[in-house]
């Protein structure tokens, strides 16, 4: 398949996508927490608003820099689209090279969820990461994340940004990808369906989790 790809591009007039750099880590964390409550701002819920981005956003820039993009308007990062070529490989990198350092400075809140407060859910996840490469997701080995702050939504930017990521994944010969979606995030589910993603129904997906997949070949 021949496809031209410019890592930096104008998605819609005045809105640009470009590769994320280490200088974008603060912006990645900010956008992540401001969209972390099923698309809404979770800042007030967290006692450490950085942790959610240290799980769901920053590691993509660190371990998959060719697949980590920020979205800017007026020179301000207001969104991102992130991917991993092989979820099992990415998960192994997180276990080996990412979570151990975070655990050095974060206490484990223990298994009793009823006692968790603030960002304890994230501290627990860092100490006990859930399995990412579930058996049912194996036919869709790549995965992605997209989050846009409200000013960017509903303008065709999400579609253009996902197409940008998909082109980058195709260049790396990813045959198919999946997305981990909060089951109550109706907007995201509607958006992904419009882009051709379908719910992945498999016994390895625990109740209360929702994954959507799409072939890229």
Interaction site with ligand COA (CB under 6 A): 35, 39, 146-148, 153-159, 179, 181, 185, 187-188, 190-191, 194
What is the DSSP track for 71-83?
Answer: EEETTEEEEEEEE
* 204 C-beta neighbours (distance < 10 Å), count: 14
User: 62: closest CA among 102, 34, 33?
Assistant: 102
Rounded least distance, CB 187 to ligand COA, Å: 4
User: 34: closest CA among 151, 209, 127, 154?
Assistant: 151
Rounded least distance, CB 175 to ligand COA, Å: 21
User: Are residues 123 and 109 in contact, defined by beta-carbon separation less than 8 angstroms?
Assistant: yes
Q: Please identify, using beta-carbon distances, which residue of 106 and 181 lies nearer to ligand COA.
A: 181
The DSSP symbol for 131 reads P
Distance, first Cα to last Cα, the chain: 9
Q: Please identify, using beta-carbon distances, which residue of 173 and 194 lies nearer to ligand COA.
A: 194
Q: Please identify, using beta-carbon distances, which residue of 92 and 149 lies nearer to ligand COA.
A: 149
- Between CA 153 and CA 39 the distance in angstroms is 11
Rounded least distance, CB 96 to ligand COA, Å: 26
Q: Please identify, using beta-carbon distances, which residue of 86 and 163 lies nearer to ligand COA.
A: 163
Within a 13 Å sphere around the CA of 132, how many CA atoms are in the beta-carbon half?
Answer: 25
Rounded least distance, CB 81 to ligand COA, Å: 8
Rounded least distance, CB 139 to ligand COA, Å: 20
Rounded least distance, CB 162 to ligand COA, Å: 8
Q: Please identify, using beta-carbon distances, which residue of 15 and 106 lies nearer to ligand COA.
A: 15
Give residues with Cβ within 8 angstroms of 60, minimum separation 6.
Answer: 20, 67, 68, 82, 83, 84, 145
Q: Please identify, using beta-carbon distances, which residue of 133 and 149 lies nearer to ligand COA.
A: 149
């Amino acid at each position: 398949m021949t496809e031209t790809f410019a890592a930096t591009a104008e998605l819609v007039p005045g809105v640009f996508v470009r590769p994320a750099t280490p200088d974008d880590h603060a912006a990645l964390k900010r956008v992540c927490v401001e969209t972390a409550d099923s698309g809404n701002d979770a800042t007030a819920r967290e006692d450490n608003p950085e942790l959610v981005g240290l799980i769901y956003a920053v590691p993509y820039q660190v371990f998959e820099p060719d697949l980590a993009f920020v979205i800017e308007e007026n020179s301000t990062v207001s969104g991102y689209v992130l991917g991993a070529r092989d979820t099992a490989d990415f998960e192994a990198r997180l276990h080996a090279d990412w979570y151990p350092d975070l655990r050095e400075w974060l206490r484990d809140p223990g298994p009793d969820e009823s006692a968790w407060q603030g960002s304890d859910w994230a501290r627990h996840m860092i100490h006990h990461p859930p399995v990412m490469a579930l058996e049912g997701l194996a036919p869709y080995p790549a995965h992605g994340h997209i989050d846009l702050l409200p000013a960017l939504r509903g303008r065709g930017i999400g579609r253009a940004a996902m197409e940008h990521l998909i082109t980058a994944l195709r260049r790396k010969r990813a045959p198919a990808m999946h997305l981990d979606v909060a089951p109550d995030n109706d907007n995201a589910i509607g958006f992904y369906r419009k882009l051709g993603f379908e719910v992945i129904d498999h016994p390895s997906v625990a109740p209360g989790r929702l994954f959507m997949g799409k072939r890229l070949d």
